[in-house]
Structure 1
Amino acid sequence: MSKLYQGIVGACDKLVPGSLRPLWEHPAGPKTIFFWAPAFKWGLVIGGLGDINRPADKLSIPQTTSLAITGLIWSRYSLVIIPKNYSLFAVNMFVAAINAYQLGRAFKYRQSLEKK
């Protein structure tokens, strides 16, 4: 751990109320990468939600496929690691679900083109 990060955690450590101590001290809590990686991965979910209104012809099938599969793989992984990381599970399930929906939209659009 870097000295800067240790300093920040040490300063925040004094401010955490007793009721939040179990979360703060958890092996997958805010003191670890196990907390921050899923927190920042919510950006993929927000991006996927932003693409809901994007025209289906502009969706990339390879990209949405890889994101959906990656979401499923990491969801499984988050439940077999120790400690189990439920925040990583949740974010990856959302990534998988949003991209599966987008993939469905893209396929439906491509099928409508083939019928014409």
Structure 2
Amino acid sequence: MAKVYKAIISASDKFVPNAFRPLWEHPAGPKTIFFWAPAFKWALVMASLDDFRRPLEKVSTTQSGSLAATGFIWTRYCLVIVPINYSLSLCNFMLGLANGVQCFRAYRYQQKIKTDKEA
């Protein structure tokens, strides 16, 4: 698989315009996993945003809290690794933010249900 990927990159290399050459050659550019990891991780962020359409009684605070925590923890990690990966950091931050909001919404809903039962 690595040979196929290298062949594709080598073939594509001659078509990259000079204006995009700095991005193409960057240590976290499209030639490395540092580029492709956040590109595919955005699907997890989109799935988290899609969960906002789910009824709140079906939202797991544990899952949302875990995804929020890992998103924020990995945001920090992306800023201390070499090369610094700003795109992965942004992706992880958005994952943490989306799930943090969802966790808060679900928790608030559960508290409302609890107070309604007590009244």
Same fold (TM over 0.5): yes
1:53 deviates by 1.7
1:17 deviates by 0.4
Gaps of 5+ in 2: none
Number of the residue aligned with 2:102: 102
Number of the residue aligned with 1:79: 79
C-alpha distance after superposition, 1:18-66 (max 9, x if no partner): 0000000000000000000001000011111111121111101111111
Q: Distance in 2 between matches of 1:82 and 1:24?
A: 17
Aligned CA RMSD, in angstroms, stands at 0.9
Partner secondary structure for residue 28 of structure 2: coil
Off by >2 Å, runs of 4+ in structure 1: none
C-alpha distance after superposition, 1:40-96 (max 9, x if no partner): 000011111111121111101111111000001110000000111000110001000
Partner secondary structure for residue 16 of structure 2: coil
Q: Distance in 2 between matches of 1:51 and 1:62?
A: 14
TM-score (norm 1): 0.97
Q: Size of the alignment, in residue pairs?
A: 116
The one-letter code matched in structure 1 to 2:68 is A
- Superposed, which structure 2 residues align to 1:1-116 within 5 Å? 2-116=2-116
The one-letter code matched in structure 2 to 1:109 is Y
The one-letter code matched in structure 1 to 2:65 is T
The one-letter code matched in structure 1 to 2:34 is F
Q: Distance in 2 between matches of 1:63 and 1:11?
A: 42
TM-score (norm 2): 0.94
Q: Distance in 2 between matches of 1:103 and 1:111?
A: 12
1:100 deviates by 0.3
The one-letter code matched in structure 2 to 1:85 is N
Q: Distance in 1 between matches of 2:3 and 2:88?
A: 26
